[in-house]
Each structure stands twice: as C-alpha cells, then as structure tokens.
Amino acid sequence: MITLTMRICCSVSISDWRQGNHHIRKAKRFYRRAQQLKRSSSKDEAKKAQREQLIIAAHNEYIDLAQCYVDKIRQTCLCLPTADIIAQLKIEEVKAYIFHAERQIDQIRRRVVHGESIAHHEKVFSLFEQHTEWISKGKAGVPVELGLKICIVKDQYGFILHHHVMRNETDDKIAVSLIKETQRRLPDFKHAVLTRDFTARTTRKNWQTCLTRLCFPERDGFRL
C-alpha cells in the first residue's frame, strides 16, 4: 500500500510520501516486535498475565501505526489527480489494499486484544491470490498446504479425461457429479478405481448410480 502510493506521488510530483521507505521500515520493526513476543510457559499466573499484557501492548502499537498509515494514504488518494484512466486504476489498486489493511487490523484486534476466534471463512491466506485455501493434508511432514485442491479423472495410461477445481468444496460434494460429467463426454466410461480420499467420505451406494464396476483401495491392495 505504501509502496504503490509512493510511486503514484512520485509520478505526479507530490511530496507527501517522500519518507515512504522510512515508514515501511518502521512498520516492519513494530511487526517484528509483536511477532517475537512469545506467551509465557511459566506456571505463575502473574507472570503469564504480565507477558499477555506485553503481547497485547505490542500488537496495539503495531495496528495503531498501521491505522495511521491507512488514514494518511486515504487522504492522499483524495488529493491525487484522476485525469486519465491509468491514474484511476492505480488509485483503485491502492484502495483495494486499504480494504485488506483494515480487515487485517480488525482481525488482529479481535484475535489478540479481545481474545476472539476468527472464523475460517473470514481468513485470507494470500493477498495476491485470494482464492488460496488452507488445506489440511494430515500427512507426516506436510500436515498443511496452501493452494487449491484439484480432482482429476485419468485413464489407465495416465491421460487426463476430466478435472474439477475445488473452490471451498470437499471430495464428497463433487465426486459423483465429476464422474457423471466425465461420462457425458465419454459414454463408455463405466469402470473406475478410487483413491482413499473418496471412499472415506462417499458410500458405495452413491457410486453405484453411475458406475458398473468400482475398485476401492485398501491398506494391502484393492477390492472390488
């Protein structure tokens, strides 16, 4: 947000953000100070409470500074010329980051200062690819990944027949519909081998409506 505003101001000879790099360093310093404070593992409740107050104070300083920058940038946007479409697009991009900043300030205040739990659907895992989701893999070494799940139907030679990008969806919601969509493209598609992810959430009855032969994976092999 600050970097974009600096560039716009520089292009139109406005000196409001000539110290922008200093502001960025200051914001990072406040951020690291809040980040490095750890909750006390002491059994002394007084020490725990004292450390908790230090954490809250550091976060309050950080979000107060961030809010100050947000307010100043909003005022700068009102003064910027909007004579051409390029200038308008740049200002709209800055406003989009203002929205993100205010959402993060609100969530930090609610979570750290007020002790609330942020609902999963409110969380944003990437500002630049906002479709990114938190994927719990449940595997040793890689318990969590960030990205999007994709369901793929392949033939016996490894060629992809169909795919589906799963946005806020689970396997059991798209499994049968994906098979039926594949069959509309390839009417001869009647047999399938499923991965363990599907069998964990989808019953055999759901699959029998669209497949004549089905193979389920098990720990020591497969069963029909």
Residue 200 lies in a domain: yes
Q: Average of pLDDT values for 21-27?
A: 95
Q: How confident is the model at residue 222 (pLDDT cuts 50, 70, 90)?
A: very low
Q: Answer yes or no: is 208 within a domain.
A: yes
Containing 174, the helix (H) or strand (E) segment is helix 171-185
Residue 146's closest CA among 122, 126, 166? 126
Rounded Cα distance, 100 and 130, in Å: 11
More confident residue, 4 or 189: 4
28 shares its domain with 100: yes
167 shares its domain with 113: no
What is the structure's pLDDT at 220? 47
State if pTM tops 0.75. no
Radius of gyration of the chain (CA): 26
Per-residue model confidence as pLDDT tens digits over 142-166: 788 888 888 888 888 889 988 888 8
Residue 204: per-residue pLDDT: 62
Both 71 and 155 in one domain: the answer is no
- 105 and 192 together in one domain: no
Same domain as 169, residue 105? no
Report the distance separating Cα 188 and Cα 130, nearest Å: 38
Q: Which residues contact 11 (CB under 8 A, 6 or more apart)?
A: none
Q: Report, as an integer, the average pLDDT of 103-125.
A: 92
Q: Which of 107, 122, 137 is the last residue of a domain?
A: 122
| Domain range enclosing 162 | 149-223
Taking residues 10-18, what's their average pLDDT?
87
pLDDT in the model for residue 198: 65
Question: Would residue 134 count as lying in a domain?
Answer: no
Q: Where are the beta strands (DSSP E) in 155-220?
A: 160-166, 191-193, 213-218
Burial class (CB in 10 A: 0-12, 13-18, 19+), 65: middle
Residue 202 pLDDT class (50, 70, 90 cuts): low
- Which alpha helices (H) appear in 12-44, and where do they start and end? 20-36
Whether residue 127 lies inside any domain: the answer is: no
- The 10s digit of each residue's pLDDT in 58-89 is 999 999 999 999 999 999 998 888 778 888 89
- Tell whether 22 and 96 lie within a shared domain: yes
CA–CA separation, 74 vs 7, rounded Å?
A: 15
- At 194 the pLDDT is 75
Specify whether the CB–CB gap between 183 and 189 falls below 8 A: yes
Does 97 share its domain with 178? no
Asked if the structure places residue 168 within a domain, the reply is yes
What whole-number percentage of the chain has pLDDT above 90? 37
- 105 versus 127: the higher-pLDDT residue is 105
Per the structure, how many domains does the chain have?
2
Q: Cα separation of 26 and 61, whole Å?
A: 11
What pLDDT shows up at residue 75? 93
**Confidence class for position 104, pLDDT limits 50, 70, 90:** very high
Buried-state track 139-149, b at ≥16 Cβ within 10 A, e below 16: eeeeeeeeeeb
pLDDT band at 98 (very low <50, low <70, confident <90, very high): very high
